[in-house]
Chains A and B, each alone.
Chain A
Amino acid sequence: MADAPAEIEAKVLDIISEKAKIDRERLVLDAKLTDLDIASLDVVEIIFALEEVFDIQIPYNANSADSEFGTIGDVVSAVTGLVEGKA
């Protein structure tokens, strides 16, 4: 059974928190990745973990990173969309 959106969001935030070593409380949806000091290689590793956990493929190119994932909310909604699209 597919996860509910709230569960997906919680899992995504857990993964970001773990991979980027950022306290879970700081991960609010409108926080910008750059403000959280999440480097592009951290983003690559986070996306790898999200793809593995949710069994999805997230299109992402580090060369145009600024136009793709600006905020934590962008990441959450991309994953939610892909997981729901799969169901």
Chain B
Amino acid sequence: MRRVVVTGIGVVSPLGLTLDRFWAALTAGRSGIGPIGSIPTDRLTVKIAAEVRDYDPADHFDPRKVGFLDRFSQFAVVAARAAVADAKIAFSPETAARTATVVGTGVGGLHTLDESFQKLYRDNATRVHPFTIPRLMINAATSQVSMELGLTGPAFSVASACASANHAIGAAFHMVRGGVADLALTGGSEACITVGTMKGWEAMRVMASDTCRPFSKGRGGMVLGEGAACFVFETLDGALARGATPIAEIVGFGMSADAGDITAPDADGAARAIAAALADGGLAPADIDYVNAHGTGTAANDATETVALHRAFGDHARQLCVSSSKSMFGHALGAAGALELAATCLALRDGVIPPTANYREPDPACDLDYVPNEARTRPIRTAISNSFAFGGLNAVLALQRVEA
């Protein structure tokens, strides 16, 4: 089987629009969560989120083209361009035809949907904008990325709520490893901080009103985020042949379904996905040094994820460093796994583990090493990144450090 490496990463995040800013904030334990500024908050009970700030579409898109792109597609294209620049790759027509494009998105163009429906139902407009459909469709991000970069290989979108990006990235990994494609442009994108979405999450009563404190006693729930992260995947041989520098190697991908509750997490389902990722990568539990957790900050997820880690790793669980980057960039749903993979790749590259920020005190239900509040310098060889979605769809990626 072919080895698959990451050679380029691009992010659009609440911690910054460049990979350097993103990583500097993560390793400093600096949170991007704050008062919502992009939408009216007068009807909201929860008035905080992790928003992408200082983002102006005019800085990134031709005014004649931007009308076709919802915010979530814009994020995907900006992140994809940055990933390609980071990989220092130019796609010839032959290479482009052998490159897959797989982007995960949880809910699609909700800004477009919100604006259209407000006009229609509230303002009694007789028509909506002609680009409403191509903007809101959930595959728009994948399509816009393939068009932007001229990628003509296999391309599709993946939707599995909070695990969308991990499912997309895992599919891209398997395609390159198995020879369906030689390269992949993959990742996740989401931009759904709208009044309608916020009201929906409020109604579930799982959102924190102060900040996100994963695994900490007194955690008040999740904080909604947004953003995108994209990656260039290629074979190790291909990367070395063109003189590229691999950032990390993807070695395993595991999936499972809880087949249980539509919202409640399940330790057994999560543990099975972790075990599947290890098996897929030929790894033993003791090989893993770091876990970038799903870590949403809800009472249920964090306790359940802890049980799953105990179940999957046994005694080795106590040796793991576990941290939740959602404490800093919030829960970006369909983009979450992609932003977290970016964090995990950089942790492997630099031997620095980003902390779980906003951590206060231990919760008896969460009894592992969560790297509270301060980054830790520790050489790490192998890591996993967890995503567990509403609907019980679990996806776990396993990564390995590339020795220089």
Among A39, A48, A57, A63, the residue within 8 A (CB) of B206 is A63
Interface range, A side: 10 to 19
Chain A interface residues (CB < 8 Å from chain B)? 39-41, 44, 47-48, 57, 60-65
When distances are taken between beta carbons in the complex, the residues of chain B under 8 Å from A39 are 264
Separation of A10 and B206 alpha carbons in the complex (Å): 28
Q: Which residue of B lies closest to A58 (CB)?
A: B205
Given contacts A61-B220, A62-B205, 18 further A-B contacts (CB under 8 A): A41-B264, A44-B203, A44-B204, A48-B203, A57-B45, A61-B205, A61-B206, A61-B209, A62-B204, A62-B299, A62-B300, A63-B206, A63-B208, A63-B219, A63-B220, A63-B300, A64-B299, A65-B299
When distances are taken between beta carbons in the complex, the residues of chain A under 8 Å from B206 are 61-63
Bitwise interface map of B from 205 to 221 toward A, beta carbon under 8 Å scored 1, else 0: 11111000000000111
Q: Which residue of A lies closest to B297 (CB)?
A: A63
When distances are taken between beta carbons in the complex, the residues of chain A under 8 Å from B205 are 44, 47, 60-62
- Contact A41 to B263, CB < 8 A, known contacts A47-B205, A48-B203, A62-B205: yes
B112 lies within 8 A of chain A by Cβ: no
Q: List 14 A-B contacts (CB under 8 A).
A: A39-B264, A40-B300, A41-B263, A62-B204, A62-B205, A62-B206, A62-B221, A63-B208, A63-B219, A63-B221, A63-B298, A63-B299, A64-B220, A64-B299
Separation of A60 and B219 alpha carbons in the complex (Å): 14
* A74: min CB distance to chain B, Å: 16
Separation of A57 and B220 alpha carbons in the complex (Å): 19
**Closest CB pairs A-B (n = 9):** A63-B299, A63-B221, A62-B205, A44-B205, A63-B220, A62-B206, A60-B205, A63-B298, A61-B205
Separation of A64 and B209 alpha carbons in the complex (Å): 12
* B400: min CB distance to chain A, Å: 35
Separation of A47 and B206 alpha carbons in the complex (Å): 13
Separation of A16 and B220 alpha carbons in the complex (Å): 25
B204–A61 contact, CB under 8 A? no
Separation of A21 and B264 alpha carbons in the complex (Å): 19
Separation of A60 and B203 alpha carbons in the complex (Å): 10
When distances are taken between beta carbons in the complex, the residues of chain B under 8 Å from A44 are 203-205
When distances are taken between beta carbons in the complex, the residues of chain A under 8 Å from B300 are 40, 62-63
Separation of A61 and B45 alpha carbons in the complex (Å): 11
- Contact A61 to B203, CB < 8 A, known contacts A41-B263, A41-B264: no
- Contact A61 to B221, CB < 8 A, known contacts A44-B203, A44-B204, A47-B205: yes
Residue of A44, A61, A63, A64 most packed against chain B (CB within 10 A): A63
When distances are taken between beta carbons in the complex, the residues of chain A under 8 Å from B263 are 41
Q: Which residue of A lies closest to B222 (CB)?
A: A63
* B331: min CB distance to chain A, Å: 13
Q: Which of B183-213 touch A at CB < 8 Å?
A: 203-209
When distances are taken between beta carbons in the complex, the residues of chain A under 8 Å from B221 are 61-63
Q: Which residue of A lies closest to B299 (CB)?
A: A63
Q: Which residue of A lies closest to B264 (CB)?
A: A41
Separation of A70 and B198 alpha carbons in the complex (Å): 27
Separation of A57 and B300 alpha carbons in the complex (Å): 24
* B403: min CB distance to chain A, Å: 42
Residue of B208, B209, B263, B299 most packed against chain A (CB within 10 A): B299
* B142: min CB distance to chain A, Å: 33
Residue of A39, A40, A41, A61 most packed against chain B (CB within 10 A): A61
When distances are taken between beta carbons in the complex, the residues of chain A under 8 Å from B209 are 61
When distances are taken between beta carbons in the complex, the residues of chain B under 8 Å from A63 are 206, 208, 219-221, 298-300
When distances are taken between beta carbons in the complex, the residues of chain A under 8 Å from B203 are 44, 48
* B211: min CB distance to chain A, Å: 13
When distances are taken between beta carbons in the complex, the residues of chain B under 8 Å from A61 are 205-209, 220-221
When distances are taken between beta carbons in the complex, the residues of chain B under 8 Å from A64 are 220, 299
